[in-house]
Amino acid sequence: MKARSDELQIFVCVIECGSISAAAEQVGQTPSAVSRTLSKLEAKLDTTLINRTTRRMDLTEEGKYFFEHAKLILDQMDQLEERLSSRQQTPSGRLRINAASPFMLHAVVPYIDEFRRLYPDIQLELNSNDLIIDLLEQSTDIAIRIGTLADSTLHARSLGCSPLLIVASPAYLKKHGAPQQVADLSEHTLLGFTQNEGLNQWPLRYVHGDRWPITPAISASSGETVRHLALEGQGIACLSHFMTIDDIRAGRLKVLLGEFNSGYRQPINAVYYRNSQLALRIQCFLDFIQSKLAAYASADFKG
């Protein structure tokens, strides 16, 4: 006997929900019915997919393999149904998006109202994580990543790029003065990152190259934390244009050493697991956010 799609759906739902009872509530069945479906599926496959105790569930190696492929099969079925429906059909369904907190807050959230007016039948789920995630484990449709992508089996689509700017608050500059040359930075309090050492290489031209290495006096794991430190007058920071543009326009941050900026722009990419044509809801979001990010690519280094 072969596994049926409804059995795959229940199996995937159990894993994503974390328990049989939570999955049963989501699919509208009793826990005992869900448990019987899992047992029937394992019997058909002649293997144990989940080690279950009264306290926890753990996927076996076979279960992990089956879960990944079951997810892909169900996604392909959803995609097929979307593509076979009317060409005038409004894109719909749940869309799970993951991005680092600064990008989510400054480059996604401000446009959500407009996106929902355009596509009211898409249910958005926005998740923030400053570390690289596993799309399958996190049930994510799209992950937006800033910077150069590592080699990966994931598909990627460029959404644009964003300059890196050297900034400080008026309060900090009033107290400590503004650096006039790149070398002057050694006399200032610099704000940097605890992870991804490349972010502590600032895009500034000097006698030895166009990447100025800094030793931060204060480090943080999140760009949003670094931004708030800069706003509070704690030092000079190097941050993406997309997360500082409003602060610069409002005068809360000032751009420094613009004439020495090397012009480096951080790539912004969407990554996903699709092997064929994208689902309509994913395609709509990528097209939409790419149009919004186009302004960053042409930004100058004076803000």
The Cα–Cα gap between 41 and 47 comes to 9
What pTM value is reported for the model?
A: 0.68
List of long-range contacts for 137-141, beta carbons under 8 Å, 24+ apart: 138/96, 138/98, 139/16, 139/71, 139/96, 140/96, 140/97, 140/98, 141/95, 141/96, 141/97, 141/272, 141/279, 141/281, 141/282
Average pLDDT over residues 210-236: 95
Q: Return the pLDDT at 209.
A: 87
End-to-end Cα, the chain, rounded Å: 64
Average pLDDT over residues 219-234: 95
Average pLDDT over residues 202-225: 93
- Amino acid identity for residue 301 in this structure: F
Give the pLDDT confidence of 74-115 residue by residue, as tens digits.
888 877 776 665 444 678 888 999 998 999 999 999 999 999
Q: Return the pLDDT at 274.
A: 59
More confident residue, 242 or 147: 242
Average pLDDT over residues 137-165: 81
The answer to whether 245 touches 299, Cβ cutoff 8 Å, is yes
Mention every residue, 6+ apart, whose C-beta is less than 8 A from residue 61.
Answer: none
Strand partners, 192: 219
DSSP 17: H
Q: Return the pLDDT at 138.
A: 58
Give the pLDDT confidence of 247-295 residue by residue, as tens digits.
999 999 999 999 999 999 999 999 887 554 567 888 899 999 999 988 7
Average pLDDT score, the chain: 86
Helix axes 5-17, 31-45, angle to 10 degrees: 120
Q: Within 13 Å of residue 68, how many CA atoms lie on the same side as its CB? A: 10
% residues pLDDT > 70 (the chain) = 87
